[in-house]
Amino acid sequence: MPPAIALSEDILINVTPFETRVAQVEQGSVQELHVERSIQRGHVGNIYLGRVVRVLPGMQSAFVDIGLERAAFIHIADLRENRGERSQGLTPTPIEKLLFEGQTIMVQVVKDPLGTKGARLSTQISMAGRMLVYLPHDPHIGISQKIDDESERIQLRERLQALMPAEEKGGFIVRTQAEGANDEELTADLEYLRKLWTSVQAAARTQPAPALLHQDLTLAQRVLRDMVGPNTGTILVDSRTTSAAMLEWARIYTPSVVGRIQHYSGERPLFDTANVDDEIARALSRRVDLKSGGYLIIDQTEALTTVDVNTGGFVGGRNFDDTIFKTNLEAAQAIARQLRLRNLGGIVILDFIDMEEQEHRETVLAELKKALSRDRTRMTVNGFTQLGLVEMTRKRTRDSLAHQLCEPCPMCEARGNVRTPRTVCYEILREILREARQFNPKEFRILASQEVVDLFLEEESQHLAMLGDFVGKRISLEVEGAYSQEQYDIILV
């Protein structure tokens, strides 16, 4: 039993018929948020029998119909046959010689559809268990890089080789959770994964393409497989049905976790007990306030995510350099937390406040890497560039929290800003001028927001009167309360 002080992480699971939400809380502070909606359940890890619909030799890629809304995408680098050739230093066989239109292939989703892009596929199938990842087509034993004790790595590899059946043609990757596992636990995981693969193969022989052969675990089950660790305290679930299903799953695959799963039946909503909904609202905001008075500005685009650090109202410390250094140290911890909280992936550019001293830069970078070490997602962090930026990457397999819960603003058309009332006024004046050349109404009636009408009545009244004289028609104004600042109509009376 680990010391009580280590059990600082609790997992809260809120279940409704339409959505499952998971919050990982560490010492009262939310560190991770996961959302899975019934109609938007992710496809990563799912195995399909697909049909090739188009081969693109110029891009060395192909589109594959797996039954989703958009055709999925596979690149030559994700074909199993090509990986074997590359490992031997041979020239890869062109994709047009490996795939053809109408061909049936077994594929696995490695990236969910993002925006207008279809799912990314691979023929290198892998199936994750609690402690092992099964590679049915790759006779190789790998060890998680997070197990850094070399003697432990050698021992795990030798133990697994001894446990594997003689007829086994596939391979395994030993996950971090296997550190300290006994032979019975490893054997149970090994047998579970081999049975799972047998059922997938049987389904592939009997079902026509496109077909779903294997679906990845639900979010609640993935919590038990991926999130629970030695520091996990209580797993609270506010659904009796889901907690019972999790207990049943845990008894088979993660028996050590059974005692931590509890059904929450309190009167207060489960997420209210840790202010999780407030944390979700903050995680959707551009600005993140720091305790010192500084703040972060986080902007997410399709290409990358940028994080800008600002001192704000923080003027503490003996001098300005000290203020900057302390703000950057606090920002490093906050950035690591926000990346997990928002599930931000891909390229991330960090713009810390400029520091003159090399020692300060090295300390901030070390603090950032230390804070990021608590994140299970694979990432790379580079040092400061000549421009004073830190470049890093964080593996992206599912949509970020913002992409899951938000959509582009219909008012500003996802620009992040709106046209000023004056800009809208001038647009209306130009539109009236265009229509006056085509039509001959008695009157032009402008329907617009209060802000635009007020401007026409005050600062732009002279321009409106001049246009009325020029076109020789009466121009009237009417406030439409339901209109946004950019909306307007011109009625020909």
Return the number of other C-beta atoms located less than 10 Å from residue 220's C-beta.
22
Tell me the β-bridge partners of 122: 108
Q: Give yes or no for a contact between 130 and 177, defined as CB atoms under 8 angstroms apart.
A: yes
Reduced to 3 states, what is the DSSP secondary structure of residue 431? helix
Angle at 44 between CA 73 and CA 61, to 5 degrees: 15
Two tokens, residue 153: 């790595």
Tens of pLDDT, residue by residue over 421-456, are 999 999 999 999 989 989 999 999 999 999 999 999
- Measured CA to CA, the distance from residue 458 to residue 11 in angstroms comes to 58
C-beta of residue 247 within 8 angstroms of C-beta of residue 261: yes
Q: Residue 313: what pLDDT?
A: 65
331's tokens: 């920002």
What is the DSSP track for 309-371?
EE-TT---SSSHHHHHHHHHHHHHHHHHHHHHHHT--EEEEEEPPP-S-HHHHHHHHHHHHHH
> Could you give the count of Cα atoms lying within 13 Å of 60 in the half-sphere of its Cβ?
9
Strand pairing class (232-237; 9-16): parallel
The CA distance from 95 to 197, in Å, is: 26
Residue 178 CA to residue 141 CA, distance in Å, equals 13
Secondary structure (3-state) at 79: coil
Give the rounded distance of the alpha carbon of 261 from its chain centre: 26
Q: Per-residue pLDDT tens for 88-140?
A: 667 778 999 999 999 999 999 999 887 778 999 999 999 988 789 999 998 88
Alpha-carbon span 157 to 405, nearest angstrom? 42
Question: Using CA atoms, how far apart are residues 226 and 375, in angstroms rounded to an integer?
Answer: 12
The pTM of this model reads: 0.68
Q: Outline where 356-460 has alpha helix (H).
A: 358-372, 401-405, 421-438, 450-457
What's the confidence (pLDDT) of residue 5?
41
| 3-state per-residue secondary structure call for 229-261 | CCCEEEEEECCHHHHHHHHHHHHHHCHHHHHHE
Question: Both ends of the chain: CA-CA distance in Å?
Answer: 82
Counting DSSP H helices and E strands in the chain, the numbers are 12, 24
Beta carbons within 8 Å of 402's beta carbon, 6+ residues apart: 283, 284, 300, 342
At residue 39, the 3 state secondary structure works out as helix
Backbone angles phi and psi of 229, in degrees to 5: -140, -170
* Tokens encoding 110: 């490695």
Q: What is the pLDDT of residues 310-353, one digit of tens each?
A: 987 655 556 778 888 999 999 999 999 999 999 998 899 999 99
Give the torsion sign (CA, 397, 400, 406, 409): negative
Query: Which residues have C-beta within 8 Å of that of residue 182, sequence separation ≥ 6?
Result: none
**In degrees rounded to 5, what are phi and psi of residue 108?**
-130, 140
136: cis peptide before it, omega within 30°?
A: no
Q: pLDDT tens, position by position, for the chain (493 residues)?
A: 333 344 478 999 999 888 899 999 988 889 999 988 877 677 889 999 999 999 999 999 999 999 998 999 999 989 987 665 555 667 778 999 999 999 999 999 999 887 778 999 999 999 988 789 999 998 889 988 878 788 888 888 999 989 998 888 889 999 877 877 788 888 888 888 988 899 899 999 999 999 999 988 888 988 988 788 778 899 999 999 999 999 998 887 778 889 999 999 998 899 999 999 888 888 888 899 998 888 999 998 878 999 999 987 655 556 778 888 999 999 999 999 999 999 998 899 999 999 988 999 999 999 999 999 888 787 889 889 988 899 999 987 677 888 878 777 777 766 677 889 999 999 999 999 989 989 999 999 999 999 999 999 999 999 999 999 999 999 999 999 889 888 999 999 8
